[in-house]
Amino acid sequence: MNLFLTISFSSIASSLHNWLTKTIGNLTMVQVTEMVLVGLSLLVFLVPLCFVLGYMERKVAAFMQIRLGPNRVGPKGTLQIVADTVKLLFKEGLTPNASDKFLFNLAPIIVVVTSMLVMAPIAFAKDFQLWDLNIGVLYVSSISSIGVIGILMAGWSSYNKYSLLGAMRSGAQIVSYELSVGLAIISIVILTGSLRMSDIVMSQANGWWIFKGHIPVFISFVIFLIASTAEINRAPFDLAEAEQELTAGFHTEYSGMKFAMFLLAEYINLFVVSAIGATLFLGGWMPFHISNWAGFNNVMDYLPSSIWFLGKTFFIIFIIMQFRWSFPRLRVDQLLTLEWKYLLPISMVNVILVTVMAIMGWHF
């Protein structure tokens, strides 16, 4: 038992590194092998994650609409998503004749790759991070905005007015809401004084920012939730793929595995956004502590850090799903009004408040 507790992810990683160096010898080859291993483990993690999220989404939707949801394939419908995937695998990946074929086939790859790249600086557990770079938060916000290029590409190359309209809407939406997400993230960066993800997590060892930062941080958490829901094109901000108006928006012409890649990207984005929200505001993998309650804190420490991280992430995912099934879709003008008239001014004032708070040391 004692041995089990002392093994950490970093010790596993370093022993693997030592073993690889001994067996391969060439340092460049060791690095390449490690990169391939990391990429593979990421893929192995992501596909079951998307299955879980797909099932969760359908079940949450069903319960909120007083339905039962999938309940025929497998126990309680858990294998439904596998059946859907098999169906998508067997479908023909059609490319329309009039489309720009190169861009059309490139677009889903770009969308998936960008959403996977954002996974790099996320701290999944204690000492378990793919790449702890010193500008982690900046990296996340800059890479996540590249995804819109893939969406625009898909809409443009489909040679379909619905696709083009959806892509244009998505572009306008992501460009606008990026600002609010950025300002919400900046308020945490101000308090922490670092862009590195591990520093941000460590700064919450004595309390999560949402508790330590009083009302301003809570406001920026709410703004982060709203704006990031808009940024990943989920309802009520799913104008890019509004079914009733644009059939399926930018992925109208996609079928088979190319469509599945867009779906995969959507769920990865959902996870990434929630993971970043959990890291910045809810303390990442830090367990829940109440100061002076030593016994309670010890019990909380016994839960593994990965469980804490995943629990917080899935909590935010659930909230974003609840948004989807509670609110009606916004009109385009309402969407832009919400951002430019409400979220942006509020978050600007909020950043000033947080700055004053950080300078005066009013937070705990």
Partner 1 sequence: MKEYFVTIYKGVRSLLKGMKLTGYYFTHPREIKTEEYPDNRATLKMFDRFKGEVVMPHDEKNEHRCTGCQACEIACPNGTIKIITKQEIQPDGKKKKAIDTFVYHLELCTMCNLCVVACPSDAIVMAQTFEHSVYDKKQLKKVLNKPGSKIMEGVE
Binding positions for partner 1, rule: CB under 8 A: 60, 63-68, 71, 322-323, 325-327, 342, 346
Distance of closest approach, residue 326 Cβ to partner 1, in angstroms: 4
CB nearer partner 1, residue 59 or residue 126 = 59
User: Given the complex with partner 1, which of 273 and 321 has the nearer CB atom?
Assistant: 321
Q: How far is the CB of 60 from partner 1 (least distance, A)?
A: 7
Judged by CB, which is closer to partner 1: 242, or 343?
A: 343
- Which residues, in sequence order, are CB contacts of 237 under 8 Å at separation 6+? 173, 177, 229, 230, 329, 330, 335
User: Would you say 353 and 186 are in contact if contact means Cβ atoms under 8 Å apart?
Assistant: no
Choice between 26 and 322, CB closer to partner 1 = 322
The rounded distance, in Å, linking the Cα atoms of 149 and 145 is 8
In order of 3, 83, 228, 231, the CA distances from 148 in angstroms are 47, 30, 14, 9
HSE, CB side, 13 Å, CA atoms: give it for residue 213: 29
Q: How far is the CB of 342 from partner 1 (least distance, A)?
A: 7
Radius of gyration over every alpha carbon of the chain, rounded to an integer in angstroms: 22
Name 38's Cβ contacts closer than 8 Å, sequence gap at least 6: 130
Cβ closer to partner 1: 26 or 337? 337
Least CB distance from residue 71 to partner 1, whole Å? Answer: 8
Which residues pair with residue 128 across a beta bridge?
Answer: 125
Nearest distance, CB of residue 268 and partner 1, angstroms: 24
Q: Which is nearer to partner 1, 169 or 324 (CB)?
A: 324
- Buried/exposed 211-230: b ≥16 CB within 10 Å, e otherwise: bebbebbebbbbbbbbbbbb
28 versus 65: smaller Cβ distance to partner 1: 65
CB of 51 to partner 1, least distance (A): 21
Q: How far apart are CA 269 and CA 196, in angstroms?
A: 20
Between residues 112 and 330, which has the closer beta carbon with respect to partner 1?
330
Least distance (Å) between residue 64 CB and partner 1: 4
Residues 227 and 177: beta-carbon distance below 8 Å: yes
Query: Which token pair is 52?
Result: 């879980």
CA angle 162, 269, 319 (to 5 degrees): 100
* Residue bearing tokens 């394939």: 73
Question: Judged by CB, which is closer to partner 1: 67, or 161?
Answer: 67
Give the shortest CB-352-to-partner 1 separation in angstroms: 17
At closest approach, how far in Å is the CB of 144 from partner 1?
25
CB neighbourhood size of 301 (10 A): 13
Distance of CA 260 to the CA centre of its chain: 18
